[in-house]
Amino acid sequence: MSTLFQIDAFTAEPFKGNPAAVCLLTQPKDPAWMQQVAAEMNLSETAFVHRDGEGFGLRWFTPACEVDLCGHATLAAAHALWEHRWLKPFDVAHFSTRSGTLTAEQGEHWIHLDFPKEAAEESGFPDELLRGLGAVNPRWVGRNRLDYLVELESEATVRAFSPNLAALAGLESRGVIVTAAADPGEFDFVSRYFAPSCGIGEDPVTGSAHCALAPYWSKKLGKTRMTGYQASQRGGTVRVEVGADRVKLSGQAVTIFRGQLA
């Protein structure tokens, strides 16, 4: 049997942040089986972890497909490894993934992820995106290998945004990030994330989206360390630090339940 966790990531409070399932495997499993488990869990991501040499293999599945990069489920996977004692406290987690080697370090109160920088370049405005945004007028549109990144005029516009998900599902991308500078206070920027083509209407807190958000806002605000807030219904906080070609994502996590998968 495999140990199965449900963990809320990018939050220190239960029932906030982004819930992820984490399945600790004694050996690699068939992708079709992993996809069935992810569909059964019906969360935005289910992470599958197995020992791989001195590190761990890690794959991520939505209810509909496998994805190349996922922040909140990586945060949750690292949290599960320390909690289940597959790693000693403060040992670094090394993950082999479809996006290369990723690491997670345990701090006193925050987990720090080392991820690739996925800067967006200014792009065209496809019809599906135009229809998906509706009446909202973007300040800037770009994309990276994963997503479209759209800057809106204000935090209030981001919070009130209601996309046409059917139109966004037709985009040739994983999803769409909408963002704006935050109102004065504890956050530098706000965002929301939509990935209907992957079976996710709105993702509560998307770590991998911050691989694009961090370099974008770093250039605009002249900062390398910032705090972002993903303004979904559940909400979550992501601290970011921008390097030459990497982004450090920091967040918290809390276990909701642990069980056994037959």
Separation of alpha carbons 150 and 156, rounded Å: 15
Q: How far apart are the first and last CA of the chain?
A: 5
Catalytic residue of the set 45, 128, 151, 155: 45
Question: Contact at 8 Å (CB) between 9 and 15?
Answer: no
45 given a catalytic annotation: yes
Task: Please state, in angstroms and rounded to a whole number, the distance separating the CA atoms of residues 75 and 54.
Answer: 19
Strands (E) in 68-139, as ranges, are: 93-97, 100-106, 111-116, 121-122
What is the number of other CB atoms lying within 10 angstroms of the CB of residue 51? 14
Q: How far apart are CA 21 and CA 6, in angstroms?
A: 4
What is the sign, positive or negative, of the torsion defined by CA atoms of 109, 115, 121, 124?
negative
The whole-angstrom separation of Cα 231 and Cα 10 is 12
Q: Is 85 left (phi over 0), alpha (psi -120 to 50) or beta?
A: left
What tokens appear for 53 in the block?
């040499």
**Residues ≥6 apart with Cβ < 8 Å to 247:** 115, 116, 117, 118, 210, 211, 214, 215, 240, 241
Catalytic (active-site) positions: 45
